[in-house]
Structure formats: C-alpha cells, structure tokens
Structure 1
Amino acid sequence: MKMKELLLFLYCVLSVSVDGQHSDFHIAGCSDSYGEDVYGLDGEEVAYADFNKQKEIYPQPPFVDPMDYPGGYEQAVGQLQICRDNLQTGRKGMKDFPPEEDVPSAVMIYTRDEVEFGEKNTLICHVTGFYPAPVNVSWTKNQQKVTGSSINVPYPNKDGTFTQISRLEFTPQLGDIYSCAVQHLALTQPLTKIYEVEVSPRSDPGVGPSVFCGVGLTLGLVGVAAGTFFLVKGNECS
C-alpha cells in the first residue's frame, strides 16, 4: 500500500456475504480540497457522494436491479469533516515520507453501445493505474473542445493506484473524430486517445461491448467474483 494513501483514504469497510459469492464495501477519504465517499458491490461502483451537487449519485447500469443508500449523502458530509481532522493528525506523523507519483498505466476510449449513425451513444474514456488521485479528462470533437462530459470519483485498485472513467454523450456521424486527453501530476504532457467514427458501423460493433464481453467471460473462467457487471455483459454475449 502506498504510504501517502493513508492520508487520502482513512478507512474502508468490507463485508462478505455468507455464501462467499458477493462482497460490498464503503470507502471514505479526503484531502484539503477533495472529498470522497463511495459504496460498491463486487468491485463495481454503486453510489458516491457528489459534494459539488450536494447529493448522492447512483451510476448503475440499466441492466441491474437499482440500489440506494437512504441518508448516504448526509452521512458523507459528516464523515468528510472527521476525515479532514484526522488528515491533519496523520500528516504530522508522516511528514518525512516523500510523495509518490505513478503515471496512468492504461488509457482506453470506446463506445458504450454498438455504433449507429444518428443514434445517441456514449463515449467512455477509461483511465487506470495512476497515483495519486484524481486525473483530469478533457474531450474534443474534430479538434474543438467540447463540454458536458462527466467523470466518476477515483476508484482504488488493489495495488494502491486508482481508476477513473469519463463519459461523453455523442451522436455518431461519419468522419467525426473525438479525443480524450488525460492530465495527471506525474505526466509532463497529457495522454491522448482518439476515436474516429468509421464507415459500416453495423458491421463493426463498438469497442465497449467487446471489452465487456471479453473481460466478463475471462473473469467467469477464472472464477473471480469481483466482475459482477462484466459477467452480466459476458453472459449477454455468449
């Protein structure tokens, strides 16, 4: 575990069901200017507190039964102040540890659904393997900056690094070129990935379904329970 991670993530509550098939977690963390409170199930994000919008966000895909956490945002606000108080105490004890920085190990761009011209879709920019959190992701269309994208809270990986996913709603038109640029403290220049809307979209499904199917089936073969959402996608494709 990264030493400075103790400053950012002060606790993680993990519970496992009786039959051992599912696990859920609750992570709360903070810095001087940032706060995080997230709930998850089987390695996937279920809900998180958005302190800017002052409400609980539920980024769950439509193919799962909806879950909610009544009073989750109010609890997150209270935990944020406790976290920042503990942060000051922890910083005094760890002042001699040098900061660590890891550049993102992978950046991928793909569509959520199979591409059809003129039909609304979502571009996904998946960033993982970076430390510390967060990253900043910006989007362009035909080399012009676009707004309206969203990004989830940083999600901790088992090795102490983080993952974040940015999404951009778009309507595919032949020849359009999109890009997502990732900025991070450990990068001297942004990491950029390109997505081009190509011909014959119906014969060439978006990368998104392929990624979900491949990962889901692989996790199923090795018996890893942490890929619940991917497994659902894998089953749809088999």
Structure 2
Amino acid sequence: MMMVKKMKVSELLLILSCVFSVSADVLHEDVNIHGCSDTVAESMFGLDDEELWYADFSRGRGVDAQPDFVDPVTFPGRYEFSVSERELCRTNLKIFGKAYKDLPPELDPPSSPVIYSRDDVEVNEKNILICHVTGFYPAPVNLSWTKNGEKVTEGTKINVPFMNKDGTYNQFSRLDFVPQQGDIYSCTVEHPALKEPLARFWDVEVQQPSIGPAVFCGLGLTMGLLGVAAGTFFLIKGNACS
C-alpha cells in the first residue's frame, strides 16, 4: 500500500492508493484510489492506467467509465463502500491536519497541454480533439477550449484525475468538433502551481489532393499519342508514294 500525503494552500488532501500485482512479471495492474479534502472526495478503480469506475458523490451514484463496446466489469456495492471510505478519510484528515499544520504546501505544475485528434482529420466529418496534461499535484486542473479565439463549452468532457506512479496526476479533456479548413483550436490548463495559464494551439490542416501531376501526366500521354499518330500517317503516305 502506498500512502501519499501532501497539502494544498488552504486544505489538506489525503490520498490512499493501492496497486495490486502478483510478481515482477505480472501483465496487469489493478488500481484502487480513495482520496478526500475538506470539500471534495474521490474514489475510483482502474486497470493498467485505464479508469473503470468512479464514485460521483455529487449525484450519489457510481459511474462505469468503460466504453459501450467492451464487456464491462461491474462493481456492485462499490458506491456504498466509497461513501464509508470517504467518511473514514475525512476522520483521518483531521488527524493529519493537526500533525502537518505548519508544513508548507507542495505544488507540482502540469506539463504543457498535448492536443491530438482521435481519428484522421477529414473536412466536414465529425471527430474528437483530445487534450492531455500530466505531472501535476494537487488535482484537479482546469482545462478549457477555444475555437478561433472564442471560448467553447458545448461538446466538451473531462475525466476525473488519474494518479501516476510518482503520486502526481494526469487528466484528459475531449472536444467534439467538425473540422473546417483553417479553423484554429486551443486547450488551456490552469493550476495553482502555475503563475499563468498554459495554452497549446491546434489548427485544421487537411491535405488536398494535388491535380498538378495528373494534369501533366495526362498532357504528356496525349502529346505522345499525337506523335505516334503523326508518325504512322507519314509512314503510310511514304509507302503509298513509292
């Protein structure tokens, strides 16, 4: 069991993370994370850096984070378990709060955002832009999108933070979009460890098929055929005269 204890500027964040493995040659890792602060809490289960389930405490239910096309792993009774873990975490939080009261806060800034499209870009074809940041503490970050300089909120989604092995976090945001030639998108990350937001831009560049080679090849073929026809004409005419 790994216990990570770090403090935010006005609150203490307590995270309990368990990574289960059988041996050094194990093929898969199960991840179980429970965390809380004075105002928020998190409980999630994952497999090999993929989020499988998390507790949505604001809605009072568990959420299966797996895509629809896979055979999902179910977690019966996990939400109730997560509620009990949240209460235990907050009890321990008060104890740690007194013990670490005078320690300075620890902040790790996120990496610069990385933006990429889910599918190959085709004009007028629906697609998804993905923005990823990693290496930050504490969680979460604030990720926002713009299109041609205008803020975009419709069609955006953000996952819950996922813990890295070093105790920092990574997080993804998605934007549904329809590519149009020349459009410029940006993803901006904000975090208490940053003096100013970090932004990364991504523009729609779709390679159009070039007609130049086809035109020149067609023209060359036509001229060659005309040359063959002219040569044949003069050859026949010369044989007739002799």
TM-score of the alignment, normalized to the shorter chain, above 0.5? yes
Instruction: Look at both structures and tell me which one has the larger radius of gyration over its CA atoms.
Output: 2
Amino acid at match of 1:188: K
The answer for the alignment partner of 2:147 in structure 1 is 141
Alpha carbons of structure 1 residues 118 and 71: separation in structure 2 relative to 1, 3 Å = farther
Give the gaps of 5 or more residues in structure 1.
203-238
For the residue of structure 2 that corresponds to 1:80, the secondary structure is: helix
1:201 deviation in Å?
7.8
The answer for the alignment partner of 1:219 in structure 2 is none
1:164-183 matches, cutoff 5 A: 164-183=171-190
Quote the Cα distance in structure 2 between the aligned partners of 1:145 and 1:181. Answer: 11
Matched, 1:161 2:205: no
Quote the Cα distance in structure 2 between the aligned partners of 1:49 and 1:195. Answer: 33
Quote the Cα distance in structure 1 between the aligned partners of 2:59 and 2:171. Answer: 19
For the residue of structure 1 that corresponds to 2:113, the secondary structure is: strand
Is the deviation greater in 17-26 or in 85-94? 17-26
1:17 deviation in Å?
5.0
The one of the two structures with greater contact order (alpha-carbon pairs below 8 A, sep at least 6) is: 1
1:5 deviation in Å?
6.5
CA-based RMSD of the aligned residues comes to: 2.4
The percentage of aligned residue pairs carrying the same residue is 53
Assess if the C-alpha contact under 8 Å between 2:14 and 2:93 holds in 1: no
Assess if the C-alpha contact under 8 Å between 1:115 and 1:201 holds in 2: no
Amino acid at match of 1:4: K
The answer for the alignment partner of 2:95 in structure 1 is 89
Assess if the C-alpha contact under 8 Å between 2:7 and 2:106 holds in 1: no
Amino acid at match of 1:172: P
Assess if the C-alpha contact under 8 Å between 2:4 and 2:16 holds in 1: no
For the residue of structure 2 that corresponds to 1:56, the secondary structure is: strand
The answer for the alignment partner of 1:8 in structure 2 is 13
Report the TM-score, using the length of structure 2 for normalisation: 0.75
The answer for the alignment partner of 1:231 in structure 2 is none
